[in-house]
Amino acid sequence: MDLTTALAALAERTLTARDLAEACIAARADRPEGRDNPYVAFNAGLLRAQADAAAARRRNGEPLSDFDGIPVSLKDNYGTGTVCGGTWPVFAGSPRRLPAAWNRPGGVVSGLLARGAVVTGKTRMVEFAFGGLGANGHWGTPRNPIDTINHRVPGGSSTGAPLSLVEGSALLALGTDTAGSARIPASWNGLYGYKSSRGHLATDGIVPLSPRLDTVGLLALTAADLGAGYRLLTGAPVAPLADIGAIRIGRAPAVLWQDCSPGVVAAVDAALDRLGRLFQPVDTVTVPGLEEALALFRRGGLAGAEIFGLLSRDLPAWLSSLDIYVGPRIRAAADVLDYAERVAFLDRFAAGAREMFHDVDVVALPTVAITPPLVADLGDPLAYGRANLLALRNCCVANLGDMAAVTLPVGTDAAGMPVGLQLLGPRGADARLLAIAQAAAGHLAVEG
């Protein structure tokens, strides 16, 4: 069941919040292999307690909102505080629980709890969110469920978020996105994903990776569910487009279409051909400073220096236990000497991106250039580094340029794995971008 269907069923009283909770618990119990568990913490008793409280409010005619009783999974870097007398730990992908101060709920979690959403549990992630593949040397790397034969990475750093949706233990998944951490796992699991533009949704109450680049991310089963999730987080609906035919869709520069796995470009191009009958196609756009921004990202951007600084200052004991996938890269960022210059460049890059949207409404490109790698191919740190950078390349542009972004599933590549179409929009135009994504998804479904 998707989120939109569940909202209607709750409103019509054809099911209860407890029914939804039991379905989530049954989905968890049906998983054949524990190592592929989406969660670091899942408490059936606490899930039932929340659902029963929501059901009681509905029986009394006092629901907190139409989302009262909707099950939502949270990434392991979100603090929750105490809910129905219980709580969930915060590990942020590390091997031990972070101090209690990191478990305070911020604006996003406080808002969804105030509207009655039910937390199913805390989902797995790359350690301190510093990676796009989903590999974790402490907790293990769950398999991408789309490939039932080979152990492929599920995407990260919001690793467990898509798995909670695919298995049916949540109807909406909250992640974070610093360079693609919500969009990559959404794309690689055939889901819809949304990265908020900088400052659009509060990031307090979330263990930070990069205060400049961190954004809230959503993963959902449908484009309509993304819109509903946005309303849950903001209280504002996503209004349908009144001017669908006037939407100008531009093609991202060639560098973001290069070095793609076989079948990726073909799937995205086919989707854009179909969308050309709905929107107004525009030629390839120019993104001022794009090559320099990508080069900066390859040198570590801001995130490496910022997470090293946070750990050194607030969690020094965690530095020595960082896993093999993130430890060397974080420690290598300790000597960044041009941090201020990097920030100044990104200010200029973001300003250029805003100017670009005078000529187009959205920019289209593959969400992820490559197919999800096999875990067996990532044992060599150099191989991991190459795959990680290429997986993040197309997504990091939105974070570096302060843009909003969505990903829509549009087919499969030559390996049979899902391919995503990414749409970029200007900072602050998040609701309009989600409306464009809904229109695009509906048209692709009809055209397909």
- Residues marked as catalytic: 75, 157, 181
Running DSSP on this structure, what letter comes out for residue 243? Answer: -
* 3-state secondary structure at position 191: coil
Joined together, the tokens standing for residue 7 give: 């909202």
Q: What is the largest CA-CA distance in the chain?
A: 60
Radius of gyration of the chain (CA): 20
Joined together, the tokens standing for residue 151 give: 């152990």
C-alpha span between 48 and 448 (Å, rounded): 40
C-alpha span between 50 and 86 (Å, rounded): 10
CB 170 within 8 A of CB 73: yes
For residue 165, give Cα distances in angstroms to 96, 102, 188, 275. 26, 26, 13, 27
* 421 sits in which H/E element: strand 418-425
Closest CA to 189 of 167, 171, 163: 163
Which residues, 6 or more positions from 270, have their beta carbon under 8 angstroms from its beta carbon? 410, 411
* 3-state secondary structure at position 17: helix
- Phi/psi of residue 11, each to 5°? -65, -35
Closest CA to 405 of 432, 387, 379: 432
* Strand spans (E) along 18-69: 39-42
Q: Is the dihedral of CA 280, 282, 286, 290 positive or negative?
A: positive
Closest CA to 322 of 210, 90, 332, 156: 332
Joined together, the tokens standing for residue 339 give: 């941090």
Alpha helices of 287-400 — where are they, by DSSP H? Answer: 290-298, 303-314, 316-319, 327-332, 339-356, 381-400
257: number of Cβ within 10 Å: 18
Specify which residues 119 forms β-bridges with. Answer: 72
Indicate the residue type of 424. L
* 51 sits in which H/E element: helix 44-59
9: number of Cβ within 10 Å: 15
Specify which residues 121 forms β-bridges with. Answer: 42, 73
